[in-house]
Structure 1
Amino acid sequence: MVQGWKSAVSKIFLIPQRYILGIMGFLAVVNAYTMRVVLSVAITEMVQPIEHHDKIDSHSCISDWEGNITTIHSVRSTNLYPWTSRQQGLILSSFYWGYVITHIPGGMIAERFGGKYSLGLGMLCTAIFTFVTPFVIYATGGNWLWVVAVRVLEGLGEGTTFPALTTLLANWVPLKERSKIGTLVYAGSQIGTVVGNSISGALIAATDDWAIVFYFFGAMGIVWFILWMMLCYSDPQSHPFITEKEKIYLGKHIDNISSEEKIVPWRAILTSGPIWALVVAQIGHDWGFFTMVTDLPKYMKDVLHFNVKQNGLWSSVPYILMWLVSMSSGWLCDWLIHKNHLGISCARKVFTTLASMGPAVFILAASYSGCDRMLAVGMFTIAMGFMGTFYCGMKVNALDLSPNYAGTIMAIVNGIGGLTGIIVPYLVGALTENHTLAEWRLVFWIAFGVFLVTNLAFVCFGSGKVQHWNAAETDINEKSLEFTHVTTPSRDSIKK
């Protein structure tokens, strides 16, 4: 009776359950990033206006400042706070103080107890604290230290997101679909940034109230949590509505995953060259990405003088192209590997290099675009388009190196990379106190150097091979190891 009911329910889902998990994982990242970036736009309308006239250099864009200032003031509420540039940098970076702390615990909990609850409860925590942010600011009279405290708590919740998702993908996604589904999930960061920036700008402009965006995106996060708990499960074996056909397929094509309790081989992981190469690549990606996500709205306002509605719109445009490139490059990467045109290691390095050096060049070019707003937006857009290939490059690499410990590895890699989220906003705030183009150009030169060095390290020491310690504490046979490589040893050694 029960079995028949489950079979009937499973037929309602026309889409295989691994794709439903991929879609819900994508929406998880979308929600995570809307709640993460909402403050980047809102803060431009929360602080008291700055006098630009005596703080400009010879390259500053001042021709239309007077024309924009009335527009900017027209959408400001009466709740303005005297936060300095350095204080704003600390507020924007404080999210990552909590974010990096829960990565490793989140990964370990996901591997032991399943990713469903690790991801779901973490997102719920972030959604609740996003929703109450305006209440805290009002209650404390805009004390910036309380804003920092709330953002730290948000970060603690969201720190479990990527480790839990990586564990879920390792349990649900066959190797030949890894780049596509993995890219779909991880590329939610671009859609989240687009939605967060554009809707924030539009809502603030329409309501004359910056608080509305925190209520809106916090509520969306809570709705996602309810759907997630209803639809998704940690692995195919525990899913009550999965079809037998899909369960058999996944059981056949997902290898190197042990169902036994695992002891994390910390020493092997922490002394692995490919792991540290991946950490370095993540640092490079996060440095450039956080420079754009956290501080691009400030650049659009302080240097290019967009008003809040324009700021939200044009700050989101680069991420639309980034998402399109992310999705198309995921399919291309899988095709190149499946057709034996590239080995796994070579594919990861090629796409990571495109995602490093493309943004490095075009972000810098944007700072030399002068006061041509559309040219600057165009350069930023091309830069972020190139960055889209990171996801089928280094972002899914943790799944290549160790499916058994993918959550822990992602926790280490993403957690250390997340430290740049602490450094970058504060550094940018400290370097751009006068809000001049020359100061911002230095910020982009630093990003160029970080991209260059970190990519070189990944090209030299990165790998797409499953590591020998993945089999520790398991009885994985040689055949499954060979399947994980997908390629024969001789061909893989040539293609690398």
Structure 2
Amino acid sequence: MRTPGSGGGDYLEAEEGADRTPLLNESQPDAVPACCSARYNLAILAFFGFFLLYALRVNLSVALVDMVEPNTSLTKNTTSSVCPEHSSTLNVPRNTTGKKYSWDSDTQGWILGSFFYGYIITQIPAADLGVGYLIAVRALEGLGEGVTFPAMHAMWSSWAPPLERSKLLSISYAGAQLGTVVSLPLSGLICYYMNWVYVFYIFGALGILWFFFWIWLVSDTPQTHRRISHAEREYILSSLKDQLSTQKSVPWEPMLKSIPLWAIVVAHFSYNWTFYTLLTLLPTYMKEILRFDVQENGLLSALPYFGCWVCIILSGQIADYLREKRNLSTVCVRKTFTLIGMIGPAVFLVAAGFIGCDYTLAVAFLTISTTLGGFCTSGYSINHLDIAPSYAGILLGITNSFATIPGMVGPVIAKLLTHHNTMGEWQTVFYIAASINLFGAIFFALFASGEVQDWAVSGYHMHRN
């Protein structure tokens, strides 16, 4: 087995030969059409699940802007010298019945980050009971949502044929971006015309409705699915027969010593720093620096994630096309897409901090930055299934644990650095995020692998995917 990461700067060429996948060269079982198939039905249901997951996650980012008393998080005259007011031309009376809370900037940072300490049903009474209760409830929401990505990865290890991984996973996980796209502007409209409390009631009810469909229509594996065709079941099982381990115990020691695993950890952590910083603080940046009102705030904050959603869907199709039709190695595709999806956002994020009050360029750069991040879904994000499909859920649990840290500390640090909401303070926030992104991209390019690792298959027999 080749030592992961050797080759350095010319890794693309070296990996091309070392990671040439037998699956791409040997005859494969005939693919079963995607239309009405059980595996694509699973991808669509997962899509809507992650849609609601992220809608529930980000709605507080918009609601918080309306929950806080004006200027309680700012020192006097801090916004007036940044950018001129940029208000909507709509002259529609807004609802002002929503209760306001005297939370300063630091407290808002802790509230925004508390989700990542671990559900929305008790959101409203918790706010009235105090900041501590609100943070605790958000932590419980995070606790409930935290299992979803590892569980979905574990399911896809049994459901996704290797040459359809990028497509199936990109479809299912793209729901997260669309959930952000819809939730941000819709939350802004709800706050404006109704009351911020309905932000949590509406999305919470939709989540409960989705749950019943999931329980009714989904099975853990093709073997236990009641409506899957025989042809599709055989197609999936035969495509995965040489990749899954029958070991009853988890090979923890070699797993935790695996350099390709740590390459994913570093990339996942780095990408999430930028992603969560923008996810939780973009509405605040839109309001306090660019001076958009609540209606425009929600809409423009959602625009970057619409671009990311489109990019995720397209990149998944392109990644599998390059592997299957162009015979590119898995590792080459994963590294290339990760480099694009991390270096591109870093460049445009830094650029966004230096365009002053040019509203059009600011929105354009932030949109391009987040859009390019969509390439990572077909890069490091599904690399767990490449290196250890039998343990993909466990691996994602490990990497996602590290990748949750940015969600916990990123908003707090960003709020600490932006007490006065000056352009210079936000430039520092963007610099930090971009630097971390760049480091993660380089580390992954050096040490990632596209091969099923020795410890991940029975008898430590080598297979490459």
Fold-level match, TM-score > 0.5? yes
Q: 1:17 aligns with which of 38, 41, 46?
A: 38
- Cα drift, residue 242 of structure 1: 1.0
Q: What residue in structure 1 maps to residue 170 of structure 2? A: 183
Pairs aligned (count): 431
* 1:269-284 → structure 2 map (5 Å cutoff): 269-284=255-270
User: Quick check: 1:352–1:390 contact (8 Å CA) kept in 2?
Assistant: yes
**Counterpart of 1:424 in 2: which secondary structure?**
helix
Q: What residue in structure 1 maps to residue 121 of structure 2? A: 131
- Cα drift, residue 291 of structure 1: 1.1
Q: Does 1:203 align with 2:190?
A: yes
* 1:37-436 → structure 2 map (5 Å cutoff): 37-50=58-71, 54-56=76-78, 60-61=82-83, 63-64=84-85, 74-98=94-118, 129-138=119-128, 140=129, 143-207=130-194, 209-256=195-242, 258=244, 260=246, 262-436=248-422
CA distance in 2, matches of 1:224, 1:238: 21
**Counterpart of 2:263 in 1: which secondary structure?**
helix
| Percent identity for Structure 1 against Structure 2 | 38
Q: CA 1:372–1:53 in structure 2 vs 1: closer, same or farther (change >3 Å)?
A: farther
CA distance in 2, matches of 1:221, 1:443: 33
Moved over 4 A (4+): 70-75, 256-261, 475-478
* 1:436-475 → structure 2 map (5 Å cutoff): 436-471=422-457, 474=458
- Cα drift, residue 55 of structure 1: 3.8
CA distance in 2, matches of 1:49, 1:72: 20
Letter of the 2:171 counterpart: L
RMSD between aligned alpha carbons? Answer: 2.2
Q: CA 1:240–1:265 in structure 2 vs 1: closer, same or farther (change >3 Å)?
A: same
CA distance in 2, matches of 1:148, 1:335: 44
After superposition, the C-alpha distances for 1:436-485 in whole angstroms (9 at most, x for unaligned) are: 221111100111110111111111111111100001xx36876xx2xx52
Letter of the 1:134 counterpart: I
After superposition, the C-alpha distances for 1:318-361 in whole angstroms (9 at most, x for unaligned) are: 11111111111111111111134421111111000000111001
Letter of the 1:195 counterpart: V
* 1:485-496 → structure 2 map (5 Å cutoff): 485=465
Give the TM-score, by structure 1 length.
Answer: 0.83
Q: What residue in structure 2 maps to residue 36 of structure 1? A: 57
Q: CA 1:239–1:174 in structure 2 vs 1: closer, same or farther (change >3 Å)?
A: same
Q: 1:27 aligns with which of 9, 25, 48?
A: 48
CA distance in 1, matches of 2:402, 2:92: 38
User: Quick check: 1:59–1:370 contact (8 Å CA) kept in 2?
Assistant: no
CA distance in 2, matches of 1:219, 1:171: 30
User: Quick check: 1:45–1:76 contact (8 Å CA) kept in 2?
Assistant: no
- Cα drift, residue 250 of structure 1: 1.2
Letter of the 1:50 counterpart: N
Letter of the 2:161 counterpart: P
CA distance in 2, matches of 1:377, 1:38: 20
CA distance in 2, matches of 1:71, 1:146: 37
**Counterpart of 1:386 in 2: which secondary structure?**
helix
After superposition, the C-alpha distances for 1:368-389 in whole angstroms (9 at most, x for unaligned) are: 1211212111111111111110
- Cα drift, residue 149 of structure 1: 0.5
**Counterpart of 2:452 in 1: which secondary structure?**
coil
- Cα drift, residue 262 of structure 1: 2.6
- Cα drift, residue 430 of structure 1: 0.7
Q: CA 1:148–1:58 in structure 2 vs 1: closer, same or farther (change >3 Å)?
A: closer
Q: What residue in structure 2 maps to residue 114 of structure 1? A: none
User: Quick check: 2:259–2:447 contact (8 Å CA) kept in 1?
Assistant: yes
Q: Once structures 1 and 2 are overlaid, which stretch shifts more, 215-224 or 184-193?
A: 184-193
Q: What residue in structure 2 maps to residue 10 of structure 1? A: none
Q: CA 1:261–1:349 in structure 2 vs 1: closer, same or farther (change >3 Å)?
A: closer
Q: For structure 1, which runs of at least 5 residues remain unmatched after alignment?
A: 1-12, 99-128, 486-496
User: Quick check: 1:71–1:307 contact (8 Å CA) kept in 2?
Assistant: no
User: Quick check: 1:72–1:308 contact (8 Å CA) kept in 2?
Assistant: no
